[in-house]
Amino acid sequence: MNIQKETKVSYFNPETSYSSFHFIHTLRKCCKDCFSLDKNLVILCIGSDRVIGDCLGPLVGHKLSSLFKNSDIHVYGTLKNPVHAKNLDITIKKIRASIQNPYIIALDSSLGTNSHVGCVTLGKGALHPGIGTGKNLPHVGDIFITGIVNESGLNNISTLQTTHLATVVKLADFISTGVYMSVRPSKAR
């Protein structure tokens, strides 16, 4: 992932004590603009359900779509209807055309250094999906969240295909719980 230099990226290790608390607190701070400007929250979960290392987005979307079923929070990208390289552009256009004043949390899996595998990143600004696999996809989001599923290397496509499912599921559980606790409707707080 290529993040602009002025963007502060926070890293969270789900194995570390209090990381869930810090993730929730940081995401709430990032979402202040959404809540104070009365924008409509959209959670855009990017990835393919056909590649283990790339299924983080659809897994999180699947979990969040049931948690936010009866709320005004919009979730795109699930196991049943994934948002991936082939339909990302049209999905972004659909969001902008159908949701007034959207505030987008964009989520995707990523590759990183060996010491960051299994960590979650969070920051304000756009997500740049597809960079690890050489795809030129539209940048999207007001906030980005990534789960680092494996180590970046010479053949990142193969790396995504051989990623451990346990790593992806652990990250999906951490992210979906953290997002829900951060942005759940005020009635549920």
Q: Which tokens hold the place of 132?
A: 């690890």
d(CA 53, CA 61): 15
d(CA 159, CA 151): 8
Indicate if the alpha-carbon torsion angle 133, 43, 41, 124 is positive or negative. negative
DSSP assignments along 134-182, one per residue: T-----B-SEEEEEEEEE--S-HHHHHHT--HHHHHHHHHHHHHHHHHH
Three-state DSSP class for 78? coil
Render each residue's pLDDT in the chain as its tens digit; 189 residues. 444 445 689 999 999 999 999 999 999 999 887 777 789 999 999 999 999 999 999 999 999 999 999 889 999 999 999 999 999 999 999 999 999 999 999 999 999 999 999 999 999 999 999 887 788 899 999 999 999 999 998 887 888 888 999 999 999 999 999 999 999 866 444
β-strand 102-112 against 40-45: which pairing, if any? parallel
Class of domain 10-184: alpha beta
